[in-house]
Amino acid sequence: MDQVKIGKFIAALRKEKGLTQEKLGEKLGVTNKTVSRWENGNYMPDVEMLSLLSNEFDVSINEIISGERLNLENFKKAADENLVTALDNSTFTLKEKIAFFKKKWLKEHISAIVLCVAIWVGVIVLLALKTRGTDIFPLMGAIGGLLAVVFYVILYNRMMIYVENRAYSPTPDDNEDQKKNN
């Protein structure tokens, strides 16, 4: 996809309709700066905007992405090329999805993790104070360490279940969250 060519095509279509960047922006619900960025090739309109532009200018999304009006012969070829380019440029790799959903899970559960760690530390400190001067302190350290490992394993498994459920079979809401956070 040639963003500059697409931008020039959007500008030409806008001018054909006799619209200013501000008027087009108002119709689409964006600022005139956004329209200017599209037309300069600095940014690409998202899929929703491509659909609105297509309707506004009575051209296909394929023509907008191609940056030119297409005759019937070139339409299918351009559609295939545009689809391959869009898929190459917009899909997340599995590794990227897994990393994204791990971060998301941690953000959603950070308060629970902090609370559990605080409780764990509090229990260890309380037991240490109550058993001061006895030989049970090394045993408490071992039990505390074991509890920390169990806590980590449980949380890690819960996180991986969350990640696997979303990375391998994402819902539309998850895809929107992923786009917003990247």
Q: How far out from the chain centre does Cα 174 lie?
A: 8
Task: State the distance between the two ends of the chain, measured CA to CA, in whole angstroms.
Answer: 21
**Per-residue pLDDT at 174:** 47
* Measured distance CA(19)–CA(16) in Å, rounded: 8
Residues of the chain with pLDDT under 70: 1, 73, 75-77, 80, 82-93, 133-141, 169-182
Return the closest-CA partner of residue 47 out of 87, 15, 12, 99: 87
- Taking the C-alpha atoms of residue 16 and residue 150, their distance in angstroms, rounded to an integer, is 67
Q: According to the model, what pLDDT value does residue 154 have?
A: 87
Burial label, 7 (beta-carbon count in 10 A; 0-12, 13-18, 19+): buried
Looking at residue 156, its pLDDT comes to: 87
pLDDT for res 117: 80
